[in-house]
A and B are shown apart, each in its own frame.
Chain A
């Protein structure tokens, strides 16, 4: 809201006006100015260049799941276990992130149906501290997997993260084996675990639960990799190939099963769940 709007709206005699600030959005890829409404109706995909914009957990759940899904409670975890401080306190960073986000951390899970098929869906939100994986993300992943085990249904995880949350140091690294314990349990229970990789998915998240799915789906153009591009460039001092670490590149190298545009995700997931029914115990 601009100061002018604020002043205008606080005047009792002037008619209140809806803020026009978010009427337009600029596509981060092709710079085209788009009507926000049009952009959102198109699932936050640019109608001109097909850029798949980053979306929050609620938008994602609404796009993928049938109405009436139930959000799982966010698990309570130890806050700021290392009393971490860089240029700012970690607790301060958390507060700021929470002020801008409807959820208390970067992983939100829900149970419900996708075109009528039961599933637990976990969504990592890049808007919350870069989606980074700390104890809260790990705990929410575990809780989501546990719910899927209880409900005997599939677990679908939509990943988006720069990697581990550095402010939690080694405890964030420990989320890698922690999540892997759960993906193993799902497999042993014969339940499908499907990963939807979105922009960006890198670091410790890619090197654990994002690469352990029965099926890997990537959104077009998503950056997916282990090491960051700058780190690679500094290490090898070579030009990176075109499209390096993009969804299509990973598909070509056998790391994801398919690249699926956002508008087809919901039906793709439902088709997959239809095939991946828990095997009947012998």
Chain B
């Protein structure tokens, strides 16, 4: 049973009518196949047109949809032979950031990403995908190891942000994020990052400072959540839709700004409507990117990464207004 988002209401209503028709037809013995087909087609068209023009705020809701595939779903649908590795060797094991060896269509990689969880129990276990310093330090450890064993690093980014809490601050959340970003930039092996759901601020950048950054079609990536930005700049979280619009958080906008390199298409109605199709598209995109990077030297890869970030937004400097 799919849960509908607010803006999907017309589709939900159509679907409800189809179910009703089906139920009543069963008793009457009237043939309504043609009518059902017509309604199904209509529902599909409606879904398609709705998703073809999602607003940034609607995309935010799709990106956060509870049924959207997360890291552990992709571990099984995109990758094979995942060997989870745990712990930062300093303090603990953070279940918000997972990682380990894996294969992608025969290629050996180091896979790292945020896991949000899918029900109350797992959400608590994974702290809603909000990493703590030990999570980022684990990522650093795995990246360094990947470098030593010549394994390309693949990251799946999906976090509302790094955990804001007393113990996280105490143990140096900021330092852990900064070092993780630095570890990405220092990698002597290829790195491909994909924002699969929410790319929330520094907690996302720490795993996304790669030479190739991909985004799922309806994922979002931003400096602060639309709600957070709205409550600071508009002084009310209710302006989140405007904030999402103004901040340019969608894959399409970010591609235009040169912040991401490639958009991975999602099935009609979003990744959660057909996780298998999503996984196939993701596997293909990441695989192609890795192949294109293979054969590059450590020096070339670092240079690519540095040029990429130094060059963002530098396109056309304009006269300063004064």
Give the B-binding residues of A (Cβ under 8 A).
Answer: 75-79, 81-82, 84-87, 91, 94-95, 98, 104, 135, 139, 142, 164, 166-174, 176-178, 180-181, 183-184, 203-204, 206-212, 225-228, 231-232, 235-236, 238, 240-241, 244-245, 253-255
A135 near B313 (CB under 8 angstroms)?
yes
- Measured in the bound complex, the distance between the Cα atoms of B221 and A226 in whole Å is 19
B166 near A166 (CB under 8 angstroms)?
no
A82 near B248 (CB under 8 angstroms)?
yes
- Measured in the bound complex, the distance between the Cα atoms of B313 and A225 in whole Å is 27
Within 8 A of A (CB), among B282-322: 305-306, 309-310, 312-322
B163-185 CB contact bits vs A (8 Å, 1 = yes)?
Answer: 11110111111110111011011
Q: B18 at interface (Cβ–Cβ under 8 A)?
A: no
Residues of A within 8 A of B165 (CB): 227, 232, 235-236
Residues of B within 8 A of A139 (CB): 314
**Pick from B166, B174, B233, B315: contact of A244, CB under 8 Å:** B166
Residues of A within 8 A of B305 (CB): 181
- Assuming A166-B223, A232-B164, is B318 touching A176 (CB within 8 A)? no
A94: min CB distance to chain B, Å? 7
* Shortest Cβ distance from A235 into B: residue: B164
A177 near B181 (CB under 8 angstroms)?
yes
Q: B222 at interface (Cβ–Cβ under 8 A)?
A: yes
A74: min CB distance to chain B, Å? 8
- Assuming A91-B321, A209-B178, A232-B164, is B234 touching A169 (CB within 8 A)? no
**Pick from B175, B209, B310, B318: contact of A78, CB under 8 Å:** B318
B178 near A253 (CB under 8 angstroms)?
no
B223-250 CB contact bits vs A (8 Å, 1 = yes)?
Answer: 1100011001110000000110011110
Residues of A within 8 A of B129 (CB): none
A104 near B182 (CB under 8 angstroms)?
no
11 contacts across the A-B interface (CB closer than 8 A): A81-B257, A82-B248, A86-B246, A94-B321, A142-B310, A169-B247, A171-B259, A177-B185, A177-B205, A241-B166, A253-B171
A171 near B312 (CB under 8 angstroms)?
yes
Extra contacts besides A86-B242, A167-B233, A207-B206 (8): CB < 8 Å = A76-B317, A78-B318, A170-B257, A173-B222, A174-B259, A210-B174, A240-B166, A255-B174
A208 near B178 (CB under 8 angstroms)?
yes
B247 near A82 (CB under 8 angstroms)?
yes
**Pick from A76, A180, A181: contact of B320, CB under 8 Å:** A76
* Shortest Cβ distance from B229 into A: residue: A166
Main SS class of interface, B? helix
Residues of B within 8 A of A228 (CB): 164
A163: min CB distance to chain B, Å? 8
- Assuming A166-B247, A176-B181, A211-B175, is B320 touching A226 (CB within 8 A)? no
- Assuming A180-B209, A211-B178, is B169 touching A232 (CB within 8 A)? yes
* Shortest Cβ distance from B177 into A: residue: A207
B63: min CB distance to chain A, Å? 14
B320 near A104 (CB under 8 angstroms)?
yes
B313 near A255 (CB under 8 angstroms)?
no
Q: B15 at interface (Cβ–Cβ under 8 A)?
A: no
B67: min CB distance to chain A, Å? 25
B182 near A212 (CB under 8 angstroms)?
yes
* Shortest Cβ distance from A85 into B: residue: B246
Residues of B within 8 A of A94 (CB): 321
Q: B201 at interface (Cβ–Cβ under 8 A)?
A: yes
Q: B219 at interface (Cβ–Cβ under 8 A)?
A: no
B144: min CB distance to chain A, Å? 14
Residues of B within 8 A of A79 (CB): 318-321
- Measured in the bound complex, the distance between the Cα atoms of B319 and A232 in whole Å is 40
A87 near B234 (CB under 8 angstroms)?
yes
B223 near A95 (CB under 8 angstroms)?
no
Q: Which of A87, A139, A180, A204 has the most CB of B within 10 A?
A: A180
- Measured in the bound complex, the distance between the Cα atoms of B233 and A254 in whole Å is 34
B185 near A226 (CB under 8 angstroms)?
no
